[in-house]
Structure 1
Amino acid sequence: MRWECRNNGKRYRIRAALAPSTAAAFAAGLFLSAACPGFAQETRQFSTKKGTVLVETLATGLEHPWAVEFLPDGALIVTERPGRLRILRDGKLSKAVEGVPEVVARGQGGLLDVALDPQFATNRTLYLSYAARGDGGYGTVVARAILAEDERRLADVQEIFRMNKFTGTTHHFGSRIAIDRDGSLFFGIGDRGDDERAQDPRDHAGSILHINADGSIPASNPYRGATEGLAEIWSIGHRNPQGITFDPANGTLLTVEHGSRGGDEINNPLPGRNYGWPVITYGRDYSGAEIGEGTAKEGMEQPLYYWDPSIAPGAIAVYRGKMFPEWDGNLLVAALKYQLLTRLERDEGGAIVGEERLFDGEFGRLRDVIVAPDGALLMVTDEENGAVLRVSKAPTE
């Protein structure tokens, strides 16, 4: 393992042959703490199958950060699950942005995703997903707002979606947001701990949903104008989709969702399709009991990929950047339980043909991963003392 930092124009690098928890690595950390004040901004070096990468800690001290996005000027905007929205600029975290809607920070609930409108540079509009209180308990809500020019507050906050059935459970809220090329929003909601809800097209739980930026219903939705399902629903049969993205190269929609004890899935949700939960799954119940009717059934879709045992996926991204051309088209999935980033290789047809696991246990629970404009990766760690991390290519010497 290597650590590297810079101080007063000098670069310090030290290598420990033992794991970071051992005495040798601890001594290395002490050395760097003395050589590099503010050691929180450390840089560590890792070998991968496709080369060497650096992982730099950009910020610490965040309370269960859930999502990170780039602002047009290169600063970052980060959500914290207790309900705070923060700006990270020049290595400094702002105070909490005022005007964030009231959230329910219980269980897996709280302030979840943040997504920027495609015209954010001119309209300052962003979208938030979060757990809220309502009749019957708690549920997932999506709102839009305008970030003030001074970045101190949100203005014109408008709720544009509220799920139709709130309950007392505090898990499986979803809910990451992906914005399509036309500005419409795709997002997922989990089954809210009641698996049968995922098979009901008249229930928002256990679904991928699709709305316009103002909350209206897109013409492409399969149940628009129909009676057999809710107009916002795109697809059903999802257990707890916490990752969603578009492939920038071809516009393909991809999701990653939690299984039970195994059965985490990557899917390509298509309109009106049923992705099986809880009728079919590649996982078992936490008790070890079988779930549903097996792994396949007519009329239900198969995943593009699944994990057994579960890695507990938190987010998915498609790599189309310039920094790692050898990763072009790869899928990147942040994992909570196994505390890693998995890189999935695809063939020309899009089928997943290989997997490499990175940073296993090195940084804690990885909640989000995105591709930065320069091709680096950004990740956040879902911890009480959460961090923002940057993954870049190591320079050749």
Structure 2
Amino acid sequence: MKKILLPALLSLAPVVGCAEQIETEIKALAPADSGITWEQVVSDVVVPWGMAFLPDGSMLITERSGELIHFHDGESTRVEGLPEIQDGGQGGLLDVVLHPDYETNGWIYLSFSSPAGGGDGSNTEIMRGKLEGSQLIEQETLYKATPNTGRRHHFGSRIAFDADGFMYFSVGDRGARDENPQDITRDGGKIYRLHDDGSIPEDNPFVGQPNAKEAIYSYGHRNPQGMAINPETGAVWVHEHGPRGGDEINVIKKGANYGWPVATYGINYSGTPITDKTSLEGGEPPLFFWVPSIAPSGMAFVTSDKYPEWKDSLLVGSLKFAYLERVIFEKGEVVAREKLLEGEGRVRDVRQAPDGYIYVSLEGRGVFRILPE
């Protein structure tokens, strides 16, 4: 796999006027009769970035401002002893995921913007610890992206475990699109794969390459804030924010280049082009793209029998348009999109819990459970 740098991209001059974009052909529609009812489970959270469900039926919720909330029997308890978290912009305490064998080992995995390592600012850190009462103990840093930067956006930070026990996580390009995503010697704009203890798998694609960040599994990403394991294929799926347009769903493949910023369906926020390419020779195209952007956050496959009409579809939160999107597939391709809970709030996360219910976190409102029709 080649390391691609960006001299050609850096030489592109801004173009006056607004660039033309290819819009998404499949539009999101409100269902004729959704029949959705829902109930609030947790209130008094501002930005509930991530959720995880413990075997006793309780819930862990990350509040982006830096609090880990343990919700049990209707009561919220703040977990003490968290590491130093730099809250600001899009940073803070972000995802929370349980080890697949949590009932045996008790490991809880967190992502957050960390100032550790010196210098100004922060970068994405992945750590694990165990819950003892209301304390987080036995903390271990598994990965810390470098260098720290004062830019306060594009931390990525979603985490998922596959069926073989590998841990995947995302780090956004940290606002350095022309430096990080296409350079495998730098953190940022990548999907990473580690063993559950933070060690690097020997078969990672860039192991042994000079100066490479050997934890990298794929590159050319912008800011992936959704990650889930496809229950049928076992593949890692992510979605990621584009700039103005160009949000994507990507199926992660070992060593693959997903193009950013050499190829994208998005344009600059000013309306000028980023590139004239929507595909990259030798790169991996998106499974689906959104133009205009929905600003996706949170991602879950529906496998529960509680929602028979939704089974095998994908749920994605929209921050921009404040709805939950159901993406419907046939033979591996997107054929329809539905807008659910439209206007209820910015959807930050969506999860299918072990009890089979779907839970949605809304900024400024809390966590809600969707009830079957």
In structure 1, runs of 5+ residues without a counterpart are 1-46
Structure 1 position 142 matched with structure 2 position 126: yes
Residue 181 of structure 2 aligns to a residue whose secondary structure is: helix
1:49 shift after superposition:
5.3
Residues 100-131 of structure 1, C-alpha deviation per residue, up to 9 Å, x if partnerless? 11100011100000000111112211100000
What pairs with 1:109-124 in structure 2 (closer than 5 Å)? 109-124=91-106
1:276 shift after superposition:
0.6
Residue 325 of structure 1 aligns to a residue whose secondary structure is: coil
1:74 shift after superposition:
1.1
Contact 2:235 2:252 in 1 (8 A): no
Alignment correspondent of 2:346: 365
Structure 1 position 264 matched with structure 2 position 247: yes
RMSD over aligned CA atoms reads 1.4
Structure 1 position 172 matched with structure 2 position 151: no
Instruction: Flag the structure with more relative contact order, 1 or 2, with Cα contacts below 8 A and sequence separation at least 6.
Output: 2
Contact 2:329 2:336 in 1 (8 A): yes
Alignment correspondent of 1:354: 336
Alignment correspondent of 2:90: 108
Alignment correspondent of 1:377: 358
Alignment correspondent of 2:17: none
State the distance in 1 between where 2:371 and 2:203 align: 38
Structure 1 position 187 matched with structure 2 position 169: yes
What pairs with 1:150-229 in structure 2 (closer than 5 Å)? 150=133, 152-196=134-178, 197-227=180-210, 229=212
1:312 shift after superposition:
0.5
| 1:337 counterpart (320, 327, 347) | 320
Opposite residue 157 of structure 1, the aligned amino acid is Q
State the distance in 1 between where 2:207 and 2:291 align: 36
State the distance in 2 between where 1:259 and 1:82 align: 24
In structure 2, runs of 5+ residues without a counterpart are 1-29
Structure 1 position 391 matched with structure 2 position 373: no
Residue 91 of structure 2 aligns to a residue whose secondary structure is: coil
The structure that has the greater radius of gyration is 1
Residues 122-177 of structure 1, C-alpha deviation per residue, up to 9 Å, x if partnerless? 221110000011333210000010111x2x11111011100132211011001110
**How many aligned residue pairs are there?**
341
Contact 1:114 1:177 in 2 (8 A): yes
Give the fraction of aligned pairs with identical amino acids, expressed as a percent.
43
Opposite residue 90 of structure 2, the aligned amino acid is Q
1:360 shift after superposition:
1.6
Structure 1 position 292 matched with structure 2 position 271: no
State the distance in 2 between where 1:220 and 1:99 align: 35
1:212 shift after superposition:
1.0
1:83 shift after superposition:
1.1
Residues 34-54 of structure 1, C-alpha deviation per residue, up to 9 Å, x if partnerless? xxxxxxxxxxxxx94575221
State the distance in 1 between where 2:164 and 2:361 align: 28
Contact 2:126 2:142 in 1 (8 A): yes
Residues 302-351 of structure 1, C-alpha deviation per residue, up to 9 Å, x if partnerless? 10111111110011111111111222211110111111110011113x21
Contact 1:321 1:373 in 2 (8 A): no
Residue 43 of structure 2 aligns to a residue whose secondary structure is: strand
Residues 213-268 of structure 1, C-alpha deviation per residue, up to 9 Å, x if partnerless? 11111133101122263210011110100111101232111001000011000000
Contact 1:249 1:320 in 2 (8 A): no
Contact 1:68 1:379 in 2 (8 A): no
State the distance in 2 between where 1:213 and 1:269 align: 19
Structure 2 CA distance for partners of 1:389 and 1:228, relative to 1, 3 Å: same
- The normalised TM-score by structure 2 is 0.88
| 1:98 counterpart (80, 84, 105) | 80
State the distance in 1 between where 2:290 and 2:301 align: 18
Higher helix proportion (structure 1 or 2): 1
